[in-house]
Amino acid sequence: MPNNLIIWVGLAASSTIAGNLTLIGAASNVIISEASEKRGW
């Protein structure tokens, strides 16, 4: 059982990090992208 816990925690952590690194992975990234595009960045 402990091995399964390590796998699940690793999966959760990696998916969170990967989601925040991609543009459409997190809603805040999309909002910032649209706001900066409107300002000409």
Give me the pLDDT at residue 2, please: 66
- The one-letter code for the residue type at 23 is L
Dist CA 3 CA 27 (whole Å): 32
Place of tokens 């390590």: 6
- pLDDT digits 0-9 by tens, 1-41: 567 888 888 988 888 888 778 777 778 878 888 988 998 87
pTM of the model: 0.51
Give me the pLDDT at residue 28, please: 80
Give me the pLDDT at residue 40, please: 87
Give me the pLDDT at residue 1, please: 53
- The one-letter code for the residue type at 38 is K
